[in-house]
Structure 1
């Protein structure tokens, strides 16, 4: 794994690869403004 990502896309790919290596089945990266998705988030929680 690279130590310094060259773009946000590369950073996301590195985070996802690290999470899979730690045993996570899936990883998602989202915007921090969750207003449009609050209902879905609350149902999931």
Structure 2
């Protein structure tokens, strides 16, 4: 019984870690997109 509980905990943690990684990647993508847009706007204003 104890073994199955530990296995379940590991699986849940793995899922949580995976979701965390995905959200971090998503946030990084959004941030870089925003930064790129701002840089583009600033560059266009300079021209």
What TM-score range do you get, normalising by the shorter chain?
0.3 to 0.5
Higher relative contact order (CA 8 A, sep 6+): 1
TM-score, length-scaled by structure 1: 0.38
TM-score, length-scaled by structure 2: 0.36
